[in-house]
Amino acid sequence: MGVKSPANFDQQEFVIMELPYTSTIKALFNIDSEGAQNINLPSFLSPFFSNPFLETTSTGYFNFGFLLSQNTSNNQSFSNFLTQVDAGISAIKKPNAVNLVQDAMNMFIDHVGDVNLYIMTSDLTQDGLLQDYSFIDLIGVKNTLNTVDVMYSSVEDYLNVLNFGVQACITGGADAKADLQFVMTSLNIVLQGLPVLAPSLNSNLFYFWISKGVSIATAVVDPDGATIIPSYYDSSGSFVLGYDPTTKNIIYVSSSGMFIPAGDDYITLLNENNTNSMTYTTILNAIGGTGLVPYTVQISGSNQVGSNAGYTGILPGGSVISIPIAASSSGNVSQQEYLDPTLTINQNNNALSVIAKGTLNNGSSIPISSAVLNISGTQYTMSQTDSSTFSLTVDISNVSLPSTFSVYMVSPDVPGGFASGTIKATTNLVFTTVSKSIVAGSVSNLMTVQTQDLQGNPITDRANIDINLSSSINSGRFDISPNGPFDGTITQLTIPSGSSSTSFYYKDNVGGTSIITATGESLNSGNVTQPVSPVWDVNLDHVCNVLDLIMVGNCIGESGTVGWIPQDVNQDGTINVLDLITVGNNLGLTWQ
């Protein structure tokens, strides 16, 4: 074996990791390959690699050999050296710019050591010397980055291989997360080269799904935090993918698809059939404790029509729930039966009462075994009142309002069970004056907005309250005086301490029905409708026609204060031909 360290570096550890290639592409894409296989890297990446290709063993394995070498100037113990390697390689991977990667590499090589990745072309089971070749060396990558103009993303996957591979080496394979990240990243690189060997994969939807899924999982694989792990079964009830509850192992790849841990989630790609419908069953296994674990499952076919099939619920630790998956030959997955609770909510100032009834999505009742209420991260156990109904009253005086809450109900054999509601603020903003229709350009009557509790009583025992005003019509303006100037500067008023209300006037020079809204922090907003008729709608029937002309004509020659009657359309104090012209120019128009 030709493994060696560069000058001034001492070999410390060499670890070999295997990745099955032939069996993987056979299981996934039904591609047969015999003997040693080569996958060439893109030509623009050649400068980074001692040998820019991946070669399998004669039996179809990629054997990766990681050599960790310590800089002779580094006097740390072996265990401390491994800690330095782990931290150093992770630091190299974190930046997303070439110059920052170079800086991190220089620091690592000068003060810690070097990492070299070899490809072993000999089967590990054969006798004699192992044949190998150097694939990528950290010092070589650093030197190349100094001379070649390349985007960081071009070499990111290969730095990932070094990063995750080194982490797996340091833990001796005991870190499942690092092992899986290494496998997924290596597989991602292999998949990129597959269409060269089998061009038909370029139009293979399943290949696209898997390559996309692996790319997602490459950076975010993290199964450690998951407490629900799914298992998948085919139509005959045979286990095909995911968590095998019998052996306690996880099957990531099979002829039925691929199972990809991604953060606290799992992405599963299942085979479909374009001539026959396919049915699977996923069983969610709640493991690692007896607590309640929430879940959300989204299922989409390759040619999904409409919304995805979705199920959201909660699962007690140590239990399971079964979810059917029915995919039609057209690539559409239909929604199956699920628990869809019906909520009755009553809020009385600082008390929230919730009644939850177990109902299916078709509206029928179903027995419920337990129910919980969640408010701002605090979980409350609800009390059972009958076989399908639970209730609870909670003090919400310490809850920041407005807010939301969620209810999870559990029925042992039915997925779903999630419902949510809104907790209103305990103070309402209410308009206490009745608006009257006005003509565009005129001023409304005095409008008053008041703070009230949820029972409609005025509230005065609080500090100053700022109220924001808005109109659904852009031309609407507010002012505290009927004489204006209504220039748009007034959009906020204050209800002083000891008072419960404030007042204002409204004006709109264009016309239209406006929704005036009052809002404030931790307050339930209030609104009022203010009709503002355009000046040309003299008879207020929401259309400009000959009837409006007749009304103006009947008053020709009259005069008075500006806008004293609707027939003074142009509001100049005199009804004459100019008013007729204004109406005539708008004949046929309507307003809402």
Using one digit for the tens of pLDDT, what is the confidence trace for 532-581?
888 888 888 888 888 888 888 888 889 888 767 888 888 888 888 888 88
Q: Mean pLDDT across the stretch 505-526?
A: 87
- Residue 129 has φ and ψ, to the nearest 5°, of -70, 145
- Measured over the CA atoms of residue 96, residue 99, residue 104 and residue 106, the dihedral's sign is positive
- Residue 216 pLDDT: 47
The pLDDT, as a whole number, for residue 219 is 41
Q: What is the mean pLDDT of residues 179-207?
A: 70
DSSP helix/strand/coil, 78:
helix
Output the pTM of the full model.
0.50
Region for residue 582 given its phi and psi (left: phi exceeds 0; alpha: psi -120 to 50; beta: otherwise): alpha
For 331: left if phi > 0, alpha if psi spans -120 to 50, otherwise beta; the answer is left
- The answer to whether residue 218 scores a pLDDT higher than 60 is no
Q: Residue 180: is its pLDDT beyond 70?
A: no
Give the E-state strand segments of 388-485 in sequence order: 389-395, 403-410, 418-423, 427-431, 438-439, 447-453, 465-471, 476-479
Note whether 465 and 498 are within 8 A (CB): no
Report which of residues 501 and 38 the model is more confident about. 501
Mean pLDDT of 364-372: 95
**What is the pLDDT at residue 419?**
93
pLDDT band at 420 (very low <50, low <70, confident <90, very high): very high
The alpha carbons of the chain give a radius of gyration, in whole angstroms, of: 36
- d(CA 236, CA 435) in angstroms, rounded, equals 68
User: Residue 53: beta bridge partners?
Assistant: 40
Q: Which of 462, 457, 437, 432 has its CA nearest to residue 447?
A: 432
Residue 248 contacts residue 288 (beta carbons within 8 Å): no
Average pLDDT of 413-442?
88
Do 108 and 71 meet the contact criterion of CB atoms below 8 Å apart? no
Q: Per-residue pLDDT for 222 more than 50?
A: no
The fraction of the chain above a pLDDT of 70, given in percent, is 85
Burial class (CB in 10 A: 0-12, 13-18, 19+), 531: middle
40 token code pair: 């060439």
Q: Which sequence spans correspond to the domains of the chain?
A: 9-203, 222-327, 342-423, 427-533, 546-584
Mean pLDDT of 58-76: 83
Q: Which pLDDT value is given to residue 304?
A: 77
CB under 8 Å to 386, separation ≥6 — which residues?
Answer: none
Q: Which CATH superfamily is domain 427-533 in?
A: Immunoglobulins (2.60.40.10)
Residue 470 has pLDDT above 50, yes or no: yes
Range 515-534 average pLDDT: 88
Q: What is the mean pLDDT of residues 239-267?
A: 80
Quickly count: other Cβ atoms within 10 Å of residue 57's Cβ: 24
- The pLDDT confidence band at residue 206, using thresholds 50, 70 and 90, is low
8 Å CB contact between 13 and 169: yes
Helix, strand, coil percentages in the chain from 3-state DSSP, rounded to 5 = 20, 40, 40
On the question of pLDDT at 27 being above 90, the answer is no
Q: What is the pLDDT of residue 371?
A: 94
For residues 32-44, average pLDDT: 76
Q: Is the pLDDT of residue 223 over 50?
A: no
Mean pLDDT of 167-194: 69
Which residues, 6+ apart, have CB-to-CB distance to 30 below 8 Å? none
In CATH terms, the fold of domain 342-423 is Immunoglobulin-like (2.60.40)
Tell me the helices (H) and strands (E) count for the chain, helix number first: 9, 33
pLDDT of residue 351 exceeding 50, the answer is yes
Confidence label for 374 from pLDDT (cuts 50, 70 and 90):
very high
Query: Which tops the pLDDT comparison, 431 or 113?
Result: 431
Q: Which of 253, 215, 260 has the alpha carbon at shortest distance from 27?
A: 253
* pLDDT greater than 60 at residue 225: no
Cα separation of 150 and 269, whole Å?
33
pLDDT tier for residue 197 given thresholds of 50, 70 and 90: low
pLDDT tens, residue by residue, 92-133? 655 555 566 677 777 778 878 888 888 888 887 777 777 888
pLDDT for residue 352:
92
Tokens of 521: 């922090």
| pLDDT (0 to 100) of residue 1 | 54
From residue 514, alpha-carbon distances to 290, 392, 531 in Å are 55, 41, 6
In sequence order, the 6+-apart residues with CB closer than 8 A to the CB of 99 are none
Mean pLDDT computed over every residue of the chain: 81
pLDDT score, position 221? 39
In the block, tokens 């310590």 appear at 70
**133: number of CA atoms within 13 Å, CB side?**
12
pLDDT for 26: 76
The answer to whether 459 and 489 are in contact (CB under 8 A) is no
Q: Which of the pair, 583 or 225, is modelled with greater confidence?
A: 583
220: pLDDT strictly greater than 50: no
pLDDT at 146: 67
pLDDT value, residue 175: 60
- List the single range of 113-127, 234-248, 318-332 with lowest mean pLDDT: 113-127
Looking at the predicted structure, is the pLDDT value of residue 353 above 90? yes
Query: Quick check: do 342-423 and 427-533 share a fold?
Result: yes
Residue type (1 letter), 200 = S
